[in-house]
Chains A and B, each alone.
Chain A
Amino acid sequence: MRISTIALANLKRRKGKALFLTVGIAIGIGTVVAMLSLGSSIQQEVGAQLDRFGANILIVPQSNSLALDYGGVSVPGVAFDVHQLENGDIQRIREIPYHDRLAVIAPKVLSAADVEGQQAVLAGVDFKQELKLRRWWAIKGRTPESEDEVLIGYEAARALSLISSPAAVALPHAEHSGHQSSADVQFTITRNQIHINGLNHHVAGVIAPTGGPEDRMVFGSLAHIQKLVNKPGQLNVIEVSALCKGCPVEDIVNQISSKLPHAKVSAVQQAVKARTEMVDRITRFSAVVGAVVLVIGALMIFTTMMGSVVERTKEIGVLRAIGFRRTHIMKGLFIEVAIVSVLGGWLGWISGLLASWLALPYFSETSTRPDFHPVLLLFAICAALLIGILSSIYPALRASKLDPSEAVRYI
């Protein structure tokens, strides 16, 4: 016979109330667990989707430029002291401490070139990396696989008469709005051989219109274009996409800067802010809903325990009369609440994960399974215990302060 024996026997005796409390705590904790679990999965998805919108770090050669004005005549800026980026810089970027946060490193060399007698911007890229970065590209044809193959932007292809006239899909709103999305434009490649700087190349594919600068560009493999434009090993820009769910972009920028002192490294603030704001909003929403549910749970425990204390006035009076200290009475009530809370927390963890598993398909397009963080179980039990104990402090104090003589006046 210990105080815990009495607490356990009391719970068995009041099975209905114990069950009500357990279910109440389980619902509260389950909601929070489901919110956290769903929130975590949605955050990851949002982060992944935002990452598809492109790079969030831009690396360009460090240079100084002067705007010249002579006799009222403006002369275009003159760049001097230019430090070129080179192929070796890619490896240096991969050596930063946060290298595991780097999803894509997309180097480019850019140059004007003579394409079929017209001037066009020629870009040498690592297609594997570039396509990870530009997931919105819809390619008619295929990705270049050999050095003499190129990918051509939609406007450039039209100017070079490589594709047939476009036929827009009859979408009423698109016609009215006067613009077409890439998915709406249908075209066929009519010619697949072009000359660039006098050399024959095969057109592997044409990028559907994006509305971006790539529409007017010709893309080839990095090494081949570097040779073609006589810039062996040189790069004009490196785009980096860092995995951004809670990633310290500024730290990554600093680490790359220290590795490439000759380059200008900058975070694309808009993308970074969009990601962090979206993630923050989801986190705040989850926290607010969770807090409201937990407060309701705490009030439920409070009222139930207060009711229980009133109901047990005589019993507590007898215990006090036979020598139970105030602390013994409180201990007994806390043990009851702790048992119910741990059980409720555990059930809440299970039901929360189950609920998030069932609900995730309605909130997420890609994730079908919530994250099963073992730490959530610890959180669920600790949170349930904390809420249970905190909500029971006043009822327990009140029980312990019951005057035994008042209680035994009626016995």
Chain B
Amino acid sequence: MAFISIEKVTKTYNDQSGSAAVPVLAELDAAISEGEFICLMGPSGSGKSTVLTIVGAMNRPTHGKVIVDGIDVYALSDERRADFRREYIGFVFQQHHLMPYLDVLENVMLPLATASISSREKKERATSVLERVGLADKATRLPNQLSGGEQGRVAIARALVNDPPLILADEPSGTLDTRTGNEIMDVFRQLNDQGQTIFMVTHNNENAALAHRVLNIRDGALVGEGRPQSDRGTSLTSGSPASLLTYE
């Protein structure tokens, strides 16, 4: 049984006048296994981010179901769905969206703010994930005192602090220069190597080369699924060439 099952998901938005429905996704079906690293690729406006927010329990589909670990996500109440997001999903946003008024450690602890555990345990868990992303020594810095790559790693640490089974990432290296972007992608690769399920939206073929599978979406429909040809063991920061993707 798939860890994530997207079943005939359709999404329409109303246009600005509210009179006409604009179709974004049309009967999308996909399945993701536990421990997989999946990339979703497609041109702008193809519906990539909509798929990500629907899988992320934030955007109710017009039709269809999303089942994660056997849970019908949209059968949950709004508040329970918030709990589901906290327990099951770690989000990494393109702009990182760290809270500028909290230091690195506090930003990482943010998802634990509502948890019924001691402050000490929250700190220990946050420090532990900061060590995993190599930023333990910068715990007391504010986000604006970090480089773009470091901010990205803080965002990843924040996504990991609850130890969620699934990481959703929306163009995590989209705003970074190539070298910094590759640093971030290395972290994702390492996480996946440790068994973390990752579902990532990207435009970047090099990033997609790290994935086990690549789903290609166009005009709201999956048009192909393929396996990248790159060697996943090669670090992107070591200067490997862009990989070509083949579709089945």
Contact = CB atoms under 8 A, between A and B. Distances in A.
A67 B126 CA distance: 102
Nearest to A327: B79
B85 A5 contact: no
Query: Does more than half of chain A's interface fall in helix, strand or loop, or is it mixed?
Result: helix
A68 interface: no
B154 to A, nearest CB: 13
Given A1-B113, A9-B106, A408-B58, A322 B99 contact: no
B94 A1 contact: no
A393 B145 CA distance: 36
A13 interface: yes
Nearest to B158: A322
Contacts, number: 91
A1 B82 contact: no
A1 B95 CA distance: 23
Contact of B113 (A2, A315, A318): A2
Nearest to B113: A1
B179 interface: no
A9 B109 contact: no
Interface residues of A, number: 28
Interface string A1-29: 11101100110110000000000000000
Q: Say which size band chain B's interface belongs to.
A: 35 or more
A275 interface: no
A327 B119 CA distance: 21
B124 interface: no
Contacts of A323: 82-83, 85-87, 89, 111, 114, 162
Contacts of A6: 99, 102, 110, 113
A322 B85 contact: yes
A325 B79 CA distance: 5
Interface string A382-411: 000000000000000000000111001101
B97 A314 contact: yes
Given A6-B113, A322-B86, A323-B83, A1 B122 contact: yes
A403 B89 CA distance: 17
Interface in B80-106: 82-83, 85-87, 89-91, 93-95, 97, 99-102, 106
A330 to B, nearest CB: 12
B61 to A, nearest CB: 11
A326 interface: yes
A44 B87 CA distance: 63
Contacts of A328: 82, 113-114
Contact of A326 (B82, B85, B110): B82
Nearest to B162: A323
A411 B95 contact: yes
Given A315-B99, A326-B82, A408-B93, A321 B114 contact: no
A320 interface: yes
Interface string B55-91: 0101100000000000000000011001101110111
B53 A12 contact: no
A56 to B, nearest CB: 64
B12 interface: no
Contacts of A372: none
Contacts of B106: 1, 5, 9
Contacts of A403: 58-59
B192 interface: no
A136 interface: no
A320 B82 contact: yes
Nearest to B123: A1
Given A5-B113, A10-B101, A411-B95, A326 B78 contact: yes
19 contacts: A1-B112, A1-B119, A1-B126, A3-B113, A6-B113, A13-B101, A315-B97, A320-B85, A321-B85, A322-B86, A322-B90, A322-B158, A323-B82, A323-B89, A324-B82, A325-B83, A328-B114, A408-B91, A409-B53
Given A5-B113, A326-B79, 9 more contacts: A9-B101, A13-B101, A314-B97, A322-B86, A322-B110, A322-B158, A323-B82, A325-B79, A325-B82
Q: Which 5 A-B residue pairs are closest in the complex by CB-CB distance?
A: A323-B86, A405-B59, A13-B101, A1-B109, A325-B82
